Amino acid sequence: MRSFVCALAAFACLAPAALAKPAAHPSPAASAKSSADPFRWLENIDSPRSMAWVKQQNALTAKRLKSDPRYKVFYDEALAIFTAQDRIPTPRFRAGGIDNFWQDGQHAHGIWRHTSLESYRTADPQWETLLDLDALSKTEGKNWIWKGATCLRPEERDCLVRLSNGGSDAVEVREFDTQTKSFVEGGFHFPTGKQQFSWLDHDTLIGGREWKPGEVTTSGYAYVIKIVKRGAAPREVFRGKPTDVSADAIVLRGAQGHPDGIVIRRGITFYESQYSLVTDHGLARIPLPRKADFQAYVDGQLVFALKQRWGGFHEGALIAYDLASLKSDAAHARAELVFMPGPRQAIQDVTSTKDRLVVDLLDDVKGRIDIYAHDGGRWTAHRLDLPKDDNIDLVDASQETDRLFVDVEGFLDPTSLWLADTASDEVAKVKQLPPKFDASRDVVEQHWATSTDGTKIPYFLVRPKDMRYDGSTPTIMYGYGGFELAKPPIYLPEMGKIWLERGGAYVIANIRGGGEFGPKWHQAALREHRQRSFDDFASVARDLFKRKITSPRHLGIYGRSNGGVLMSVSMTQHPELWNAVVIESPLIDMLRYNHLPPGASWVGEYGDPDNPKDRAFIAKYSAYQNVRPGMHYPEPYITTNTRDDRVHPGHARKFAAKLESMGYPVLYYENTFGGHANDADPQLNARRWARHYTYLAEKLMD
């Protein structure tokens, strides 16, 4: 299981919340400070005035970009990639076989389907459709977007299906019978909201939602956990505080999928939690520091990742508690060490199979998979024999067997899917994505830049083999730098086809704030230290110039979500370093972000702008307040989504409007559905990337 941060951060890894709710009312002091904002009205998402502005901006940007003959070429190339029938269907273990959710040119909304493992391993699996979202959307007059399903073990026939109308993170939950292929009449059904439920048995769920109007935290999440039985009123088992970030229930499933226990996680802040075991006498607190994340439950052991030093353990360590000991006397239970990463390592993900713990490890930002067994009270480890220099991602693990799917990929190496048996160590390549672009002319390098304070910052460079070292190579540099999320090598077919094949270069800057080297690397750029991530990013650009790989005229930057903070600040602090800036689904107004849902949950990352001390350091970099007249800013391309309930579209709207009011050229485009990911259907995604690359080609290649 991923950490709480990643579990809530499905795409760009900022925590979602309910966009349907109005922004929380700011304090009087905050109101006074923001009253001079002439573009505050653009925060009203669906108001006629706001949407008229969006419509006008979209028309201008579409006219500009679609008039470029490359737009149609880029769109066709991207659509062919996103709808290709030879893509690897992402597998999910269920009911002894494999589930997959599939979208293509004929299934824009997608189909949920099932096959046997044996059939899946063939070149042409025989799929059985469980649910057709295109047909459902047409029948119900909704724009249903798939958000997954949770099925009752061990049979995994009964499932809780999550559907989003338009792609927002708020979902409707319905009970679905996979044998009859229909929603259960009179079954569990929860209307749209920010909610999470788990099965206890066929007639019982546990989870959190907005049980009463307004019964959510200031971040927009549930803080009341209830047990729901068919035909009975929900019974409360935990109530946090409205000032918390969230609360959720973790069901610990043992042999045959039956519950061994329930853990309640109270999210006090984004990075601070309290964990308690549900007992017959109430809640028993699990001895942990506040900065610890639940990872997995296997063989009676609860595994946590520490984000701070505690109890003789270092930050970054994996530790485990024995469930029986916690049930007997939680206050005096003792944790044991599972694994401690080295200084150039970081835990990227953790999961479990039936009997094994699986750790996805980064070693100098390259992937490894280690398997741990709990034998005789001791943890023993071995490494799976997988390709050494690529990135490795956990895809899915079977809770009924010891089988595991992983993806292996590199910038130039098409994604391959591997099936591993964590008990026998057998690994086999199951599927291979055919090359989607000609990678024979390119090479991948890893370099290190020196930041302002002397810290060495790694970055990956993908460049033409015959590149001239004269600074003329059109280069896109990507950055994120937040929430302890690493950015290792990844196969991006649309980038390779549209950009690399046309002689461009691509860079990922592994700046501080990310998770490339564990909690320390992340915490080095938290709150008052945020400037370090901006300095790191600029240092990578200067290193590219020093190596004569590119130059400011040919360097463009791209980031989204938290990366939008990075892009907007990079644009305003160092306009001389780049000629193109793509700012997608961004945070930008950092003096008001905590009043735009769900910004209050991110105070642990950025600081609290309503606190004068925090406001002072945030104000120094917040791009919305630091844009100045008379500067030579590159013309940015700013884009977001009306139905984004993870990062409020007001950030992007206001920044574009302010730049325009000061006489600066700006391109703005807002998709009206799709949510934070902006990839709800293949055509939407193809248009999105066609706009991105048309803009970048105009700025960097022309």
pLDDT in tens, 522-574: 999 999 999 999 999 999 999 999 999 999 999 999 999 999 999 999 999 99
Among 561, 568, 570, 622, which one carries the catalytic annotation?
561
Residue 614: enclosing H or E segment and its boundaries? Answer: helix 612-619
Dihedral-angle region of residue 484 (phi above 0 means left; psi in -120 to 50 means alpha; beta otherwise): left
How far is Cα 395 from Cα 361, in angstroms, rounded to an integer? 14
Give the predicted TM-score (pTM) of the model.
Answer: 0.93
Residue 676 a catalytic site member: yes
Q: pLDDT by residue (tens digit) across 369-419? A: 999 999 888 999 999 999 988 999 999 999 999 999 999 999 999 999 999
Residue 595 a catalytic site member: no
Q: CB under 8 Å to 454, separation ≥6 — which residues?
A: none
Residue among 567, 557, 559 nearest 590 (CA): 567
| Statement: residue 16 has pLDDT above 70 | no
Residue 554: enclosing H or E segment and its boundaries? Answer: none
**Residues comprising the chain, all counted:** 702
The band of 10, judged by pLDDT with boundaries at 50, 70 and 90, is very low
CATH of domain 49-79+436-700: 3.40.50.1820
Q: pLDDT by residue (tens digit) across 236-289? A: 999 999 999 999 999 999 988 999 999 999 999 999 999 999 999 999 999 999
The pLDDT of residue 5 is: 35
The pLDDT of residue 377 is: 84
Among 114, 374, 676, 692, which one carries the catalytic annotation?
676
How far is Cα 323 from Cα 297, in angstroms, rounded to an integer? 9
Q: DSSP per residue over 134-155, as a string?
A: HHHHHHHT--EEEEEEEE-TTT
- Domain ranges within the chain, ordered by starting residue: 49-79+436-700
